Amino acid sequence: MSDREIEEPLEELEVLEELEEIEEIEELEAAAESGEFEESSTHESPLLSSTFLRDLARSYEKNPAPLAIMDRELDFIYQNPGFRLLARDYRYNSSSSFPAIFTRCFAADELRKITADLMDPATSYTWKATISHKTMDTPVKVTHLLVQPLWPVEEASRSPTAYSVLLDDVTAENRESLRGTFSSLLEASKLKDNDTGLHIERVNLYSALLTQRLYLDPRWPEVDVDFVEDIGFLAAMHDVGKIGTRDDVLNKAGPLSASEWDEMKEHTINGAYILSSYPNPMAKQIALSHHEWWNGSGYPYTLVGADIPLAARIVTIADVYDALRMKRSYKAAFTHEDSMTEIAEGKGIHFDAELVDVFLTIEAGFEEIFETNADR
Q: Would you give the binding string for Fe ion spanning residues 107-126, x where CB under 5 A is met?
A: --------------------
Cβ distance to Fe ion smaller for residue 230 or 319: 319
Supply the DSSP string of 343-361, one letter for each residue.
Answer: HHHTBTTTB-HHHHHHHHH
Pick the closest to residue 206 from 364, 86, 352 (CA basis). 364
Query: In whole angstroms, how close is the CB of 239 to Fe ion at the nearest point?
Result: 4
- Among residues 192, 242, 265, 327, the one annotated as catalytic is 242
Cβ distance to Fe ion smaller for residue 83 or 293: 293
Secondary element (H or E) of residue 113: helix 108-117
Count of positions on this chain that bind Fe ion (CB under 5 A): 2
Active-site residue flag, 327? no
Asked if 5 is part of the footprint of Fe ion (rule: CB under 5 A), the reply reads: no
Query: In whole angstroms, how close is the CB of 322 to Fe ion at the nearest point?
Result: 7
Cβ distance to Fe ion smaller for residue 239 or 292: 239
**CB neighbour list of residue 223: distance below 8 Å, 6 or more residues apart:** 211, 214, 215, 310
Residues 310-339 that bind Fe ion (CB under 5 A): 319
Give the three-state DSSP class for 38: coil
Pick the closest to residue 52 from 149, 117, 140 (CA basis). 149
Residue burial 256-288, b: 16+ Cβ < 10 Å; e: rest: eeeebeebbbbbbbbbbebbeebebebbbbbbb
Q: Would you give the binding string for Fe ion spanning residues 230-269, x where CB under 5 A is met?
A: ---------x------------------------------
Query: In whole angstroms, how close is the CB of 235 to Fe ion at the nearest point?
Result: 9
Query: In whole angstroms, how close is the CB of 187 to Fe ion at the nearest point?
Result: 16
Query: In whole angstroms, how close is the CB of 202 to Fe ion at the nearest point?
Result: 9
Alpha-carbon separation of residue 44 from 11, 37, 40, 153, 157 (angstroms): 30, 13, 10, 20, 21
Q: Would you give the binding string for Fe ion spanning residues 191-230, x where CB under 5 A is met?
A: ----------------------------------------
Cβ distance to Fe ion smaller for residue 105 or 240: 240
Alpha-carbon separation of residue 177 from 63, 182, 237, 278 (angstroms): 26, 9, 16, 12
Q: In what order do the strands lie in the sheet with 67-71?
A: 76-79, 67-71, 162-169, 138-150, 127-135
| Catalytically annotated residues | 242
* Binding stretches for Fe ion (CB under 5 A): 239, 319
